[in-house]
Amino acid sequence: MKKISFLLILCIGLVNAQKLTPAELSIINQGDGSTALPIYQATDDHQHKILLAFSSEIDATDPHTAVLVKRMKESLLSTNGGVGIAAPQVGINRKVIWVQRFDKQGEPLEYFINPVIVWKSDIQNLGPEGDLSIPDFRDQFYRSKVIQLEYVDLKGQRYSEIVEGFTAVIFQHEIDHLFGILISDKKEREKNDAYKKVDAYQKSDLMRR
């Protein structure tokens, strides 16, 4: 009984946390679904604070969420070759991202609501990354070769999938944004870390949780 009560309280807390604020609604509703939202830049003090803030979950079935999702896609399409974007990059500290799926035929853009990486492979690759919010910064970063991802769609339907390769890198980059992590800061934190470059993974590695 105690467990059920705790879960009920937790669910109520999440519902309250998901309610969009008037400031968020103002940003989302400044245009329709076909209008791109401006992409925040780390060089602007106010926008930088938004980029460094933690994001909370969003109500996937709220009609305003659908507008945000559409406008974020337009923002990504307005860039010169951007492959992913997170809601903090358009001024909304909520868990919504877009990722170009290079692991699928046609390399489609797909949205993900409240995404969570529930598992990462120990095997990591080193590769270049840039950021739409830090256009003059680019460096090499280590990322897990394979991840397991859980998320919901605009209907609230839950999904789980395993992603690998460059697409997994994009997911890790965009989900970092949801925790206020920018690649410029990440590079500073990694200076004292020791990594071994590996360019392949073992199938058995996928089974470890």
| 174 catalytically annotated | yes
Predicted local confidence at residue 198, as pLDDT = 45
Active-site residue, selected from the candidate residues 74, 110, 164, 174: 174
Instruction: Take residue 126 and report the two structure tokens written for it.
Output: 């080193």
In which element (H, E) is residue 96 found? strand 96-100
Kindly report, residue by residue over 7-51, the tens digit of the pLDDT: 444 454 444 447 999 999 999 999 888 999 999 999 999 999 999
3-state secondary structure 83-95: CEEEHHHHCCCEC
Instruction: Spell out the domain ranges in the chain.
Output: 33-194
Instruction: Give percent above pLDDT 70 in the chain.
Output: 81
Instruction: Take residue 91 and report the two structure tokens written for it.
Output: 């001024």
Question: How far, in Å, CA of 52 to CA of 136, rounded?
Answer: 18
Percent composition of the chain: helix, strand, coil (DSSP 3-state, to 5):
35, 25, 40
Question: How far, in Å, CA of 92 to CA of 22, rounded?
Answer: 11
Average pLDDT of the residues in 158-183: 98
DSSP 117-165: EEEE-S-EEEEEEE-TTSTT-EEEEEEESEEEEEEE-TT--EEEEEEEH
Instruction: Give percent above pLDDT 90 in the chain.
Output: 77
What's the pTM value of the predicted model, to 2 decimals? 0.83
Tell me the pLDDT of the chain averaged across its residues: 87
Looking at residue 151, its amino acid is Y
Domain 33-194: state its class. alpha beta
Average pLDDT of the residues in 124-138: 95
Lowest mean pLDDT among 97-101, 168-172, 195-199: 195-199
Predicted local confidence at residue 81, as pLDDT = 92
Kindly report, residue by residue over 47-104, the tens digit of the pLDDT: 999 999 999 999 999 999 999 999 999 999 999 899 999 999 999 999 999 999 999 9
